[in-house]
Amino acid sequence: MVKMKFTYFLLFINFSGFVSAQDITIITGDFKNLKTISEYNLVFDYSDLTVTDFESEEAYLQKTMLEKEQAKPGNARVFREEWFGDRVYRYEPRYIKAFNEYFKKGEVKVVKGRPDLPFTMKVHTTEIYPGYNNGFTRKSGNLEVIISIYKTESADNILFSAKIMDVECTYAGDKATLEGFDFHQGERIAYGYWNLAKFFAKQLRRGIKYN
């Protein structure tokens, strides 16, 4: 099978006045394969995750935990717990909320933990740049993700998959935290999942409408 790859670009201006671009490259299938699907079982995958500028996720964790522990005993444990805990507590709810709110009439929706649904959307995070905000300077985080859609009973039967790059982890309309006050790393990264969901929902709507 010849893999058809298309690249789309979405430019948007966030509330701080900066322009950023998200890039989606279709790996397998086409949006037209998804026209009749109105509800997805949603799963998140963090396997083989890398952190920008580090050999592995664990290498990043070890370095950061050492710094946290030197600053204050006990902080290393808290940091590691939050690094993994924020996936369920912050990232995933933010993605679900933004995606479902984009389809205001409920034309398409995602539901986590519904393996009884015939189709599954898998959000596989492959790389994270956490960014930083120390009160004096800040830099937005960044995500790289592969989204795959397949028949739930047959994960190898992929109807659509795409790689999405340059997803900025920055304030983009969610009222949980004010712009520029994203000091908590988990909250900052969660904005990336919010932006990812809105971006992919928009591409999905366009794709099923015009294909």
**Taking 90 as the threshold, does the pLDDT of residue 176 lie above it?**
no
Which of 20-24, 109-113, 133-137, 170-174 has the highest mean predicted lDDT (pLDDT)? Answer: 109-113
- Asked if residue 1 belongs to a domain, the reply is no
Name the average pLDDT for the chain. Answer: 87
How would DSSP label each residue in 92-119?
A: HHHHHHHHHHHSTT-SSEEEET-TTSSE
pTM: 0.85
Percent of the residues in the chain that have a pLDDT greater than 70, as a whole number? 82
Instruction: Report residue 8 as tokens.
Output: 């789309």
- Asked if residue 165 belongs to a domain, the reply is yes
- Asked if residue 2 belongs to a domain, the reply is no
- Asked if residue 16 belongs to a domain, the reply is yes
Contacts 24+ apart (CB under 8 A), 110-114: 110/39, 110/40, 110/41, 110/42, 111/39, 111/40, 111/41, 111/42, 112/41, 112/42, 112/43, 112/44, 113/41, 113/42, 114/39, 114/41, 114/42
Domain residue limits at 80: 7-210
| Domain count across the chain | 1
Digit-coded pLDDT (tens) for 119-132: 999 999 999 999 87
- Asked if residue 101 belongs to a domain, the reply is yes
Going 139 to 91 to 9 to 165, the CA torsion angle's sign is positive
The pLDDT score that the predictor gives to residue 185 is 86
Model confidence band, residue 145 (pLDDT cutoffs 50, 70, 90): very high
Digit-coded pLDDT (tens) for 33-88: 999 999 999 999 999 999 999 999 999 999 999 999 999 999 999 999 999 999 99
**Taking 60 as the threshold, does the pLDDT of residue 184 lie above it?**
yes
Picking from 148, 170, 168, the residue whose alpha carbon sits closest to that of residue 158 is 148
Residue 89 is given by DSSP the state: I
**Taking 90 as the threshold, does the pLDDT of residue 170 lie above it?**
no
